[in-house]
């Protein structure tokens, strides 16, 4: 696969081989470059989101009072109502008022400028279109009391890294493979036009195999761009242009080889 990777990037002649290779090898290469994208994307995600996750859970552990869920009710180590707002996203705020038992209205939440409101027996979440989702905690009978404290948030941060990150990587791999395969169909249609212009005789299946390999450089460029601290304008168009250039070179190489063999 490494040889195919290098050939996809640096050798137009390699595309003559790609056009005639077995379909199973093309599928294997599709999974290979999707795996590379997943690894690169995973590292970039860790570098970008890792510090944010650590900072957020450390802030929660320091600011959220110790909460105890027992017998369908919530008690707090700080009886007075406390409003918490994320330091980097102040619009994301929650009110903790475990002394309150009466229902919370939408106006109450808007006056407090919070998206969530925790009372002694319910959790209120503001939804879109001015609606409130109410979770009646009195119906959530737990076998034993649950304590939410600084240790809880440390454990939650560790669980997030052990469970959510691997699931996110799996999702990235599946999406990368599916998108590359689908984009290959679109690029193969473009390659048919280029093949006609170049006077080539490649079939759609061969052009599809070429299109999968032609996306390699653009995919690697995407990985590099994901590490940048800023967004590149029109990056999507740039990757399309890169792949299109490789398609044209691949079609020309196969067309020239066909004409030479005909002579």
Angle made by CA atoms 83, 86, 89, in degrees to the nearest 5: 125
Instruction: For residue 152, give both structure tokens.
Output: 């809880």
| Helix pair 23-63, 2-10: axis angle to 10 deg | 100
pLDDT of residue 262: 46
Q: What is the 3-state secondary structure (H, E, C) of 99-115?
A: CCCCCCCHHHHHHHCCC
CA 250-251-253 angle, to 5 degrees, is 65
Q: Please, what's the b/e burial string for 208-242 (b: 16 or more CB within 10 A of its CB; e: otherwise)?
A: bbbbbbbbbbbbbbbbeeeeeeeeeeeeeeebbeb
List the pLDDT tens digit at each of the 263 positions of the chain: 888 888 888 887 888 888 888 888 999 999 999 999 999 888 887 787 778 778 888 888 888 899 998 888 888 888 888 998 888 788 889 999 998 988 888 889 888 889 999 998 889 998 877 788 888 887 776 678 888 888 888 888 888 878 888 888 899 899 999 999 999 999 999 988 888 887 777 888 888 999 999 999 998 888 888 888 777 888 888 888 999 998 888 888 877 655 555 44
- Listed in sequence order, the residues at least 6 apart from 239 whose beta carbon sits closer than 8 Å to its beta carbon are 218, 219, 221, 222
pTM over 0.85: no
Query: What pLDDT, on a 0 to 100 scale, did the predictor assign at position 216?
Result: 92
The per-residue pLDDT for 46 is 78
Task: Give the count of alpha carbons within 13 A of 202, CB side only.
Answer: 37
Under 8 Å between Cβ of 185 and 205: no
């Amino acid at each position: 696969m490494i040889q195919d990777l290098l050939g996809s990037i640096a050798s137009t002649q390699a595309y003559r081989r790609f056009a005639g290779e077995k379909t199973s090898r093309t599928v294997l290469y599709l999974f290979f470059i999707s795996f590379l994208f997943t690894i690169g994307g995973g590292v970039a995600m860790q570098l970008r989101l890792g510090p944010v996750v650590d900072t957020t859970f450390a802030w929660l552990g320091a600011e959220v009072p110790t909460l105890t869920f027992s017998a369908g009710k919530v008690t707090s180590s700080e009886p007075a109502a406390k409003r918490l707002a994320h330091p980097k996203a102040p619009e994301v705020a929650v009110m903790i008022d475990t002394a309150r038992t009466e229902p919370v209205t939408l106006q109450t939440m808007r006056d407090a400028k919070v998206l969530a409101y925790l009372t002694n027996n319910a959790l209120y979440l503001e939804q879109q279109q001015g609606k409130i989702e109410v979770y009646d905690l009195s119906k959530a009978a737990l076998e034993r009391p649950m304590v939410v404290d600084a240790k809880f948030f440390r454990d939650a941060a560790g669980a997030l890294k052990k469970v959510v990150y691997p699931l996110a990587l799996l999702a990235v791999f599946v999406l990368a493979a599916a998108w590359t395969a689908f984009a290959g169909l679109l690029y193969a249609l473009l390659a048919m036009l280029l093949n006609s212009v170049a006077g080539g005789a490649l079939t759609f299946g061969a052009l599809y195999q070429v299109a999968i390999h032609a996306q390699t450089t653009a995919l690697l460029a995407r990985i590099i761009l994901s590490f940048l601290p800023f967004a590149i304008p029109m990056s999507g168009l740039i990757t399309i242009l890169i792949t299109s250039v490789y398609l044209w070179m691949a079609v020309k190489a196969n067309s020239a080889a066909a004409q030479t063999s005909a002579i």
